[in-house]
Amino acid sequence: MDRTKGFTPALGFHALTPLYDRVVALTTRERTIKRALLDQAAIEPGQQVLDVGCGTGTLVIAAQRRHPGVQVSALDADPAVLAIAARKARHAGADIAFDLGRSSALPYADGRFDRVLSSHFFHHLPWGDKLLTAQQMHRVLRTGGELHVADWGRAGGPASRAAFLAVQLLDGFDTTSDNVAGLLPVLFGSVGFRQVEETRRFATAFGIISLYRAVKGGAAPRRAGPARQGLP
């Protein structure tokens, strides 16, 4: 695993970064899942949105094009993927502020954002950094603001668990074991989020990708129903 700059690059190695978009599109049902994540986020005109661990910018560009009236920011610790993201945004005519920084120390004011998004990011982080990142996400959301996450989720059975081994061999067992154990909702609840729920589950070639939703303060928690299986 290439951690020479203190973070795990896309696909685990800097040399593989140029292949990231193609690999993700082929293996994770990316278009379907990111469309579902944006549907779930229900972004409204005038809101401020942050994408943490934005990678090459596919999600945040789609968000800005779908909701041209929103103010969109995106952050990643890898300057190589941010350069790709900025280039893609220019070609798409998307007005996005891309910031270089760490998810464990977000460079934004308290309560600035209405929505925080994250896609395929948490599984790159060890538990301590997952915790710091969730705390930072909670901090920069306004009261009533929402967190929406897509990432590898709880294994659906022996077949999906076996398929996920390929992801763990690439991204590391220490960072991905929390995901496959279904611990992200526990993580979000532990830092103060309420109404934490796994909302959907999608079967992919390498395991289950789950969508999660959580709210900062405000309303009383509601009982979450069972996650729905994503349809092709």
**pLDDT for the residue numbered 232:** 34
Q: Which of the two residues, 214 and 23, has the higher pLDDT score?
A: 214
0.85 exceeded by pTM: no
**pLDDT for the residue numbered 200:** 96
- At 96-133, the pLDDT tens digits run 999 999 999 999 999 999 999 999 999 999 999 999 99
DSSP for 81-130 reads: HHHHHHHHHHHHT---EEEE--GGG--S-TT-EEEEEEES-GGGS-HHHH
Phi and psi torsions of 142, nearest 5°: -75, 165
**pLDDT for the residue numbered 197:** 97
In CATH, 20-229 is 3.40.50.150: yes
Strand order in the sheet with 141-152: 97-100, 71-76, 48-52, 113-119, 141-152, 207-216, 193-204, 228-229
Within 10 A of 45 (CB to CB), how many other CB atoms are there? Answer: 8
Report the chain's mean pLDDT, rounded to a whole number. 85
**pLDDT for the residue numbered 171:** 80
**pLDDT for the residue numbered 14:** 54
**pLDDT for the residue numbered 126:** 95
3-state helix, strand, coil in the chain (%, to 5): 45, 25, 30
**Percentage of the residues of the chain whose pLDDT score is greater than 70:** 81
Query: Residue 129 corresponds to which amino acid?
Result: D
Yes or no: say if 57 and 84 are a contact pair by the CB < 8 Å rule: yes
Lowest-confidence range among 45-54, 137-146, 172-181?
Answer: 172-181
Residue 18 has pLDDT above 90, yes or no: no
Two tokens at 116? 């925080």
Beta strand 141-152 pairing with 207-216: antiparallel
Mean pLDDT value across residues 74-94? 93
Band of residue 222 on the pLDDT scale cut at 50, 70, 90: very low
Mean pLDDT value across residues 170-175? 85
Band of residue 223 on the pLDDT scale cut at 50, 70, 90: very low
**pLDDT for the residue numbered 28:** 61
- At 22-50, the pLDDT tens digits run 555 555 668 899 999 999 999 999 999 99
